[in-house]
Amino acid sequence: MKLRFEHDFQQKIMQQHFEEHFTLDSAAAVQKWRSAWMQELKSWHSPYKLIVDCTNLTFVASAESTDAMSRMLRFFEGLFLKSVVGFGFNADQGHDKLGFKVVQSFEEAQREAGVRGLRSATAPADFRDSIQFQNHFAQHVIEMSFSDDAVIDSKDKIAAIKSKLTNNLMQWHSKWSLLIDCSRLSFNPEFNGEWTKLETYFRGFFMKVVVGYSPAPEARENYPFRTFRARHAAVAQLESEGHFMGNDAHCRTKSKV
């Protein structure tokens, strides 16, 4: 099972997208979905709604699979799930028996969920999609990396980082530092000023410092923040400056934009 997740913490929506065909025909198959879903809940601390892309999902109804689906949905309702709606409806794939409503389009699913302005998890890969975050809560560090080669060469890309990082901050209630994997990231120096504005913005949300690691040798001087050749060196710098560990909790008081 290849299941991709997209979280919008501001609108309190989780999206799930089956990237390859998957058949729910037994309690064991339902358990695979439940386990992957449960793993993602580590990021959530509040009620949420779920939108599921059912295009590649087939449900084979039987006493066993229907009971397993019912128990799974009840289980997650006890863990802050408010509602679930699917899209990509196909009666031949058993979507009318899944135990939750499945509509035709992603736009219909948004309306059913009572939200708007979401990006579908099925959208073609772009710069925003390549941005990835790993939260190291104990160390008060957010680590940003890129799944594809990325060049900061426009205000739109700076805005994409700002938007996605702001969304990720919905999980945070303490000071934090930003650690950036630069192995697939390069900068056009003309936009370093825009990056400085970005840093100023996030300092208003308790960001302490930005450091990078694994910079491209030919572009090392173009990064608008301090970089180190190896990750452990960047982490050591955070530790030596008192930025890698911390016990001060600060709930944000600013509203999101």
Q: Render 36-48 in DSSP notation, one character per residue.
A: HHHHHGGG--S-E
Tokens 């006493």, residue located: 63
Pair 206, 253: CB distance under 8 Å: no
The size of the chain, in residues, is 257
* Residue of 253, 167, 143, 148 whose CA lies nearest to 204: 253
- In angstroms, the first-to-last Cα distance of the chain is 36
pLDDT along the chain (257 residues), means of 10: 83 90 96 94 84 96 96 94 96 96 94 77 66 89 90 91 88 90 92 94 93 86 92 88 46 34
| Parallel/antiparallel/unpaired status of strands 141-146 and 131-136 | antiparallel
What superfamily does domain 127-240 belong to in CATH? Answer: STAS domain (3.30.750.24)
Domain 3-113 classification at class level: alpha beta
Query: What pTM was computed for the model?
Result: 0.60
Domain boundaries, the chain: 3-113, 127-240
Q: How far is CA 197 from CA 91, 128, 167, 193, 212, in A?
A: 51, 19, 18, 6, 18
Question: Quick one: pLDDT at residue 254?
Answer: 36
Query: Are 3-113 and 127-240 in the same CATH fold?
Result: yes
Question: Quick one: pLDDT at residue 120?
Answer: 59
* Count of alpha carbons within 13 angstroms of residue 48, beta-carbon side: 24
Question: Quick one: pLDDT at residue 255?
Answer: 31
User: Which uninterrupted H or E stretch holds 129?
Assistant: helix 127-130
